[in-house]
């Protein structure tokens, strides 16, 4: 299950890194998220997976604290459609809407923690 989380994070980062002007604008943020979240070896067992999930949640929580008052532009489509919208035709661009980065990171953190319980 944890490997699916990493695969999803990597897919989102790849989708955001489409090579257009917006990708260049957020290149540093994309790199930072890759560095912070990392992509370790597959989890050895359920305990190892739970520990890793907890570590990811803590990292996201710390990032959320650092991201207070930071607004980013995200695709104005449901999150499940982000990759379709940004990678299918990046030349035409996708309309974006402002998003509170701290809130987004905290939602991701809370989602991971809820799966631990």
Q: What is the pLDDT of residues 69-90, one digit of tens each?
A: 888 887 777 666 655 545 444 4
Q: How far apart are CA 89 and CA 32, in angstroms?
A: 25
Angle between helices 46-66 and 2-16 (to 10 degrees): 40
Per the CB < 8 A criterion, the answer to whether 86 and 16 are in contact is yes
Given this model, what pLDDT does residue 99 score? 84
Number of domains in the chain: 1
- pTM beyond 0.75: the answer is no
- Average pLDDT, stretch 5-33? 68
Domain that holds residue 63: 2-116
Which of the four pLDDT bands, split at 50, 70 and 90, describes residue 91? very low
Please, what is the average pLDDT of the chain? 75
Q: Which residue has the higher pLDDT, 105 or 96?
A: 105
């Amino acid at each position: 299950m944890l490997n699916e989380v990493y695969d999803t994070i990597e897919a989102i980062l790849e989708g955001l890194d489409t090579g257009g002007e917006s990708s260049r604008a957020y290149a540093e943020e994309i790199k930072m998220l890759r560095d912070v979240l990392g992509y370790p070896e597959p989890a050895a067992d359920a305990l190892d997976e739970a520990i890793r999930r907890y570590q990811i949640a803590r990292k996201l929580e710390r990032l959320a604290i650092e991201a207070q008052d930071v607004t980013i532009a995200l695709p104005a489509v449901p999150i499940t459609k982000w990759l379709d919208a940004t990678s299918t035709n990046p030349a035409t661009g996708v309309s974006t809407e402002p998003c509170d980065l701290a809130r987004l990171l905290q939602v991701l953190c809370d989602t991971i923690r809820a799966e631990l319980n």
